[in-house]
Chain A
Amino acid sequence: MTKLKTAILIGTATLALAGCAKKRPAVLPPAPTETPSTAGQTGPGGPIGSGVAPGSDADFQRSVTSNTIHFGLDQYDIDPQARAILDSQAEWLQRNPNVRITIEGHCDERGTREYNLALGDRRANAAKNYLAAKGVSPSRMTTISYGSERPIALGSDEAAYAQNRRAVTIVLG
């Protein structure tokens, strides 16, 4: 599944870059961290010979579309883009049924501190609930809200705020 999807995404990206595609994907996937030939050697337990432990956070990060979804201003709904990302996460989690995760909820700095703690909790739970609906057992998932305490982009502008309004899935252990 993942193998097929990766190949399709890379193909689409190549087409887009070549200027031949009429329909660009809404967002290009991140550049592959491994060469396609290595990424293609995925066995039942995960990648082979890559030095990445199957079921680890590193394995998760290179296998899913992204470990991070983003939100609109003061929003916590899962938009189509976030849905696609969470679908890839759910897929990996079902292939690695013994793995536990925590989902961090984060906010931009343009909110008051206590409200942001609650909003970060909402965002983390929105992601958790989506994954649960996709069949990931809630007992495998915990959430933690960081409010606006741990921004990833440090600017005070809308581009930075958009990056900071996020939920990040992290594989434990």
Chain B
Amino acid sequence: MFRKTLTLALLLGTAAAMAQEPAAPPPQSTPQAAAPAQAQLPADDQAGGLIVDVEGGTSQPTPIAIPVMPTPAVVQTPAGATDTLGRQLSDIVANDLRNSGLFTPLSPGQLRAVGFPEVTAPAFDYWRGTAAQALVQGYVRANGDGTLTVGCYLYDVSAQRELVRQGFVVPPADWRRAGHKCADTVYSRLTGEKPYFDSRVVYVSETGPKGKRIKRLAIMDQDGANHRFLTNGQSIVLTPRFAPNQQSIVYMSYENDRPSIYVYDLGSGRPRRVVQNANLTFAPRFSPDGRWILFSMAVGGNTDIYRVSSQGGTPQRLTNSPGIDTGGSYSPDGSRIVFESDRSGGQQIYTMNADGSNQQRISFGGGRYATPVWSPRGDLIAFTKLAGNFRIGVMSPSGGGEKLLTDSWSDEGPSWSPNGRVITFYRSGRGASGAAQLWMVDLTGVNERRIPTPLGGSDPAWGPLRP
């Protein structure tokens, strides 16, 4: 059964056929079908038709129509009635695409009610009368085995043709993920970029006065839904980051007044201390293969970068400078590490080989540079620039092409979306009442928006795309 895995189904029949044949055979679930990212898009050529520009930042967002998804039969499910789900799913798709900054969903008043047979036979005459260049239609169906099937179809309005179709079979608890997968399908087909909406963020929830702030680990979907606290706030917790397999989170905790790095197992809910010694350990991050944890350890006032097996064991030292070396992050292939060091007198960004050799400074733009993170695409390093304001920026791994994306009093702690197109970070306010909040910004720097959280938030870390 598909209790935990979101299953991709290739939609083979037409909606008309399905309408005549409500008991249509369940969608295929082949081995590839369990891994949507590897599945071939069944629609026609990738080259032709509508293309959305992701580089410019000055071009207008593409108008897109996302009408309510109909259901062949209204059925009550643990996630709600299928007709209600159809409305909510189209909202999820619209919100994701709007939040990307690349699309403007038509307002509800500009949409038409779409019947089930119309899902695969769009009323192009109507849609050509709107501003929409693209059209997303879909449906929700409750299956006999308790799962839901969400169909997702993308059309080019002016060419009047289908661009891609996909179906997702989900347990009711994962219904929102089907919406994110549909939005990912649309986004990828129209931009040529890899998807990122079906992903989660782990962060530190903050409440209380600045002098004794209560901090708790929390996890949520990237749009803020399905929010859940992981720790109770008795100990200060900082800098959580996902394991590549998303089954655990590495973070730093002040448990027992011994600030050190822990791995939190999402399945059991139990934390495990990683390095068993009396030294301060912090700034942890997994290697891309999950076998190692890169971290910083302070010994007698001197901080260097180490790595340790993610199972624990004896740390291996990678840097050996009298300054503060911290904030290590692996390149996506695991062969290089980017980190910050104040060995030159102030914080600057350096790269080195994974074994610690070949350390080279790459930031020379004036001011201090901190918190470097290697993009999952490998092409950029995100950082915090400290020069008056704290700002989020990016540069190439060799140090060129610096571009600052935000400008606020205190933006800090970038973390990449799974596709390397968007960065989440936290923004702090001034003074005793100054709270921290989570934000995201895309690589154009134009599309900046806050991520809703129940309380304040800091140290966001974006997880990988979910399988």
Contact = CB atoms under 8 A, between A and B. Distances in A.
Interface of A: 74, 76, 109-115, 117-119, 121-122, 124-126, 129, 142, 144-145, 149-152, 154-156
B431 interface: yes
A124 B298 CA distance: 11
Contacts of A114: 239, 282-283, 296, 326-327, 370-371
Nearest to B384: A112
A114 B339 CA distance: 11
Contact of A118 (B252, B324, B346): B324
Contacts of A151: 210-211
B451 interface: no
Given A114-B371, A149-B213, A149-B236, 20 more contacts: A74-B346, A76-B301, A109-B410, A112-B386, A113-B371, A114-B296, A115-B347, A117-B296, A118-B298, A119-B324, A122-B298, A122-B301, A125-B300, A126-B301, A144-B257, A151-B211, A154-B432, A155-B431, A155-B432, A156-B430
A156 B213 contact: no
A149 B214 CA distance: 10
A145 B211 contact: no
A126 B434 CA distance: 31
Given A149-B213, A155-B432, A118 B296 contact: yes
Contacts, number: 93
B151 to A, nearest CB: 45
A118 B431 contact: no
Contacts of B432: 154-155
Interface of B: 209-213, 236, 238-239, 252, 257, 259, 278, 280, 282-283, 296, 298, 300-303, 324, 326-327, 340, 342, 346-347, 370-371, 384, 386, 390, 410, 412-413, 428, 430-432, 434, 458-459
A156 B210 CA distance: 11
B380 to A, nearest CB: 19
Given A113-B239, A154-B209, A118 B303 contact: yes
A95 B459 CA distance: 45
Contacts of B302: 122
A139 B211 CA distance: 30
A110 B389 CA distance: 9
Contacts of A149: 213, 236, 238
A115 B324 contact: yes
Interface centre among A113, A155, A156 (most CB of B within 10 A): A113
Given A122-B324, A149-B236, A154-B209, A112 B412 contact: yes
